[in-house]
Structure 1
Amino acid sequence: MASKGLVAGRLALVTGAGSGIGRAACQVLSREGATVVAADKNYDAALETIKKHIALASGYSDAGEHSAMEVDVSEPKSVQNLLQAILAEYKVPPKIVVNSAGVTRDNWLLKLSQEDYDSVMNVNLKGTFLIMQTFAKAMTESSIQGSIINISSIVGKYGNIGQTNYSASKAGVVAMTQSAAKELGKFNIRVNAIMPGFIDTPIIKTVPDKVKEQLLKLVPLGRLGDPTEIAEVITFLSSDKSSFINGASIDVTGGY
């Protein structure tokens, strides 16, 4: 493991690592010295994160000690299998856990299907819960002082047209983060949330240009955020620089 950087020598798990904020988190955490497990439902995308994006960010031609793993965060057995795979490879649970897996199934409230409601809740809220519960338990059993970072969204605070399911799931992530922080603090495990605004990720690509123009008018900085700008905050919350930040929800929105 690398010896320099904000999170040098720490093992980090990132879910949703195949694209967007998750992929950027893998890049920045590895740059700052962490060994990264990139986990995603799409294994090939996670592998691409490790082989192309991390290797390029670190200036090395190979992935080193980093690894890609498959996980469906909404399935308890899949989450357990992920933990066992990490323990088999690294002998210890991760000190850093980043819950970045997320989906959208947007529609008007009056047209939203129960299936689309459930799928968003299962990944964004239940998935965050399952990863937190499983890996916090492993941390406590190994007496590891860790940091869990949950990716919420600014729409969890303000809501958004066409996103009743998504905004509810992301508001739930904030409340769950605050409760988990209160419970896990005695084990020296910190739990915080980040509430990104409009970030240039695959999810934003589905937004029509006219709607995007309207959204940008609401952002004082006048632009979309870059996934790396979220990843820098993730890395800060993973490090000792944020040692007294616990149960917080940090807006990273350009002022929206």
Structure 2
Amino acid sequence: MTGLLEGKTAVITGAAQGIGLAIAQRFVDEGAKVVLADMNADQVATAAAAIGPDVAVGVAANVTSADDVAAMLKTAVDRFGSLDVLVNNAGITRDASMRKMTEEQFDQVISVHLKGTWLGTKLAADIMREQGSGAIVNMSSISGKVGNFGQTNYSAAKAGIAAMSKAAAKEVAAKGVRINSIQPGLIRTAMTEAMPKEAWDSKMAEIPMGRAGEPDEIAKVAVFLASDLSSYMTGTVLEVTGGRYM
């Protein structure tokens, strides 16, 4: 049976672990070739090798650098012949109450999430509009809808990603390029499992489905947005939260 992404080439940022790695693996399972990009050169190379050298390549990239992002996208074209999908997933947290948050902590998070996603979207759209097709999936967060205590930087960036995706989607829709975003809720990753138990429990209490999500549950939604299953969707924001904040 043909996969949903057969013959497609995708680039996924922040792909050395967690949600990004799950997306890369699921994309390959659906027939895609993938470029995994991450700040951690060794870890992303290992992740790509584990997926398979014929279908995956790992590259070191800082998404706040236009040169790095351009090189990352060029790798997809040079190695696999096209750029059909970009998933802007890379992110960091620098949590602190607004009173204690430093300017540097604010700037770092805005730069990686918002500027990084903007650079990826801008440069990928330039390539995709020339070929008349492409799908960009940007990773927002439920924190961009609700606002989390101690995350004025992160919530602002994630809300910005959702709004920016809509604005960008309007600019390139007529060129055959679709741009959508995902807002995950509490997903079980190394980052969230490091949370204090009381913080984890309080978030769990807000989820009607009564459990955290798994990275692959985000990956499956990314496949939907990257594939022709969502061919008439652009500028949308899909919440994948187990019903949290309905």
In the alignment, does 2:36 pair up with 1:38?
yes
Query: Which sections of structure 1, spanning at least 5 residues, go unmatched?
Result: 55-61
The whole-number CA distance in structure 2 between the counterparts of 1:165 and 1:47 is: 30
In the alignment, does 2:17 pair up with 1:19?
yes
Q: What secondary structure is seen at the aligned counterpart in 2 of 1:37?
A: strand
Q: What secondary structure is seen at the aligned counterpart in 1 of 2:190?
A: coil
In the alignment, does 2:101 pair up with 1:103?
no
User: Counterpart in 1 of 2:133?
Assistant: 145
In the alignment, does 2:240 pair up with 1:240?
no
Q: Which segment is superposed worse, 29-38 or 62-71?
A: 62-71
User: Counterpart in 1 of 2:105?
Assistant: 116
Structure 1 residue 23: deviation in Å?
A: 0.4
In the alignment, does 2:73 pair up with 1:75?
no
User: Counterpart in 2 of 1:127?
Assistant: 116
Structure 1 residue 145: deviation in Å?
A: 0.7
The runs of 4+ residues in structure 1 deviating greater than 6 Å are none
In the alignment, does 2:161 pair up with 1:164?
no
Q: What secondary structure is seen at the aligned counterpart in 2 of 1:109?
A: coil
The whole-number CA distance in structure 2 between the counterparts of 1:18 and 1:212 is: 24
Structure 1 residue 4: deviation in Å?
A: 1.9
Q: What secondary structure is seen at the aligned counterpart in 2 of 1:106?
A: coil
* Matched ranges for 1:38-77 at <5 A: 38-52=36-50, 54=51, 62-77=52-67
Query: Which sections of structure 2, spanning at least 5 residues, go unmatched?
Result: none
The whole-number CA distance in structure 1 between the counterparts of 2:132 and 2:55 is: 20
The whole-number CA distance in structure 1 between the counterparts of 2:167 and 2:145 is: 17
Q: Is the 8 A contact 1:43 1:69 kept in 2?
A: yes
Q: Is the 8 A contact 2:28 2:55 kept in 1?
A: no
Q: What secondary structure is seen at the aligned counterpart in 1 of 2:34?
A: strand
Structure 1 residue 179: deviation in Å?
A: 0.5
User: Counterpart in 2 of 1:221?
Assistant: 209
Structure 1 residue 144: deviation in Å?
A: 3.7
User: Counterpart in 2 of 1:87?
Assistant: 77
User: Counterpart in 2 of 1:253?
Assistant: 241
Q: Is the 8 A contact 2:117 2:161 kept in 1?
A: yes
User: Counterpart in 1 of 2:5?
Assistant: 7
Structure 1 residue 153: deviation in Å?
A: 0.1
Q: Is the 8 A contact 1:104 1:203 kept in 2?
A: no
User: Counterpart in 2 of 1:192?
Assistant: 180
**Aligned residues between the structures:** 244
Structure 1 residue 77: deviation in Å?
A: 1.6
